[in-house]
Amino acid sequence: MSDASTLATETTAAARAVEAVKVYGSGETEVRALDGVDITFERGKFTAIMGPSGSGKSTLMHCMAALDNLTGGQAFIGDTDLSSLTDKELTMLRRDRVGFIFQAFNLVPTLNAIENITLPMDLARREPDQEWVDSVIATVGLQDRLTHRPNELSGGQQQRVAVSRALASQPEIIFADEPTGNLDSRSGNDVLKFMREAVDDLGQTIVMVTHDAKAASFADRTVFLADGLLQGEMLNPTADQILDYMKILQVGQFVKGIPEGATMEEVLEYMKDLDD
């Protein structure tokens, strides 16, 4: 274990998880959302995380982004072991080193777009780098929407505000949990293109959870999670390659998931569920 961390220190990892375990509840209601995940997110790369619903993707995001604690194992941002930090230090880390984008409810409804974008820096009482903020805003095309409140913006625009906010404070890493999940495909595409540009042009590190193979195809690398465990990964995959890979994983699940002595009808029902 200590060998592994020494080794990792020398790489350019922006964040990594070592034997990450997260258990919710206890006794009969115990859920092992993460069951020993080892993963490294490289600096300056766009990583997608895919997997079936309930596979632990969000849990992984939250624990990596210092929003929640692991039950076991370690999570690192750069070289910082999150489990060694106090509550206040975790707050500082969220504020200064990490960005986060949710699927929904990303913005403070009473603040307008620009106030939302500069909020993390305001909380840190830090002057925003105005040039940088302007260039981020220009890239997302929000110049004429800056004084609008969230409820005066479309879903796509809101999500672009959220992405701008994450970028504006230039964090070491941005975690995005299904950022396009609530958007129509055109708005989703805009947001994805924008994140891609942030990685290519600005050198930002982004980790994104998605259900959508097409979204994942924007990433440099796609990792697959199921049952709280890493199942495999692909580098620069196309959407079709991802879908094929998912099918293989699903068959694996399928075989695993059939209860012993199931009738033919039950097997068909189970397959139908998977298709949904």
Ligand X SMILES: Nc1ncnc2c1ncn2[C@@H]1O[C@H](COP(=O)(O)OP(=O)(O)O)[C@@H](O)[C@H]1O
**Residues lying near ligand X in the complex (CB under 6 A):** 24-25, 31, 33, 51, 53-59
Residues 39-98 that bind Mg ion (CB under 5 A): 58
Any idea which residue has 């991802």 for tokens? 242
Whole-number Å distance between alpha carbons of 46 and 13: 13
Residue 201: CB minimum distance to ligand X, A: 29
Choose the binding region for other proteins from 47-55, 75-83, 114-122, 180-188 (rule: CB under 8 A). Answer: 114-122
Of 114 and 198, which has the nearer Cβ to other proteins?
114
Residue of the chain from 8, 21, 85, 92 that contacts other proteins (CB under 8 A) = 92
- Phi/psi region, residue 166 (left: phi>0; alpha: psi -120 to 50; beta: rest), is alpha
Residues 166-195 that bind other proteins (CB under 8 A): none
Of 58 and 231, which has the nearer Cβ to Mg ion?
58
Residue 96 as a binder of other proteins (CB under 8 A): the answer is yes
Residue 85 as a binder of other proteins (CB under 8 A): the answer is no
Residue 108 as a binder of other proteins (CB under 8 A): the answer is yes
Residue 51 as a binder of other proteins (CB under 8 A): the answer is no
Residue 262 as a binder of other proteins (CB under 8 A): the answer is no
Q: With contact defined as beta carbons under 8 Å apart, do 36 and 20 qualify? A: yes
Residue 110: CB minimum distance to ligand X, A: 27
**Which among 74, 70, 154, 153 has a CA at the least distance from the CA of 115?**
153
Residue of the chain from 105, 147, 201, 247 that contacts other proteins (CB under 8 A) = 105
Partner whose footprint covers residue 55, from ligand X, Mg ion, other proteins, none (CB < 5 to 8 Å by kind): ligand X
Of 98 and 226, which has the nearer Cβ to other proteins?
98
Q: With contact defined as beta carbons under 8 Å apart, do 161 and 113 qualify? A: yes
Whole-number Å distance between alpha carbons of 160 and 139: 10
| Burial class of residue 76 (count of CB atoms within 10 Å of its CB; 0-12, 13-18, 19+) | buried
Task: Show the beta-strand stretches assigned E in 113-244.
Answer: 173-177, 206-209, 221-226, 229-235
**Which among 53, 8, 15, 46 has a CA at the least distance from the CA of 276?**
53
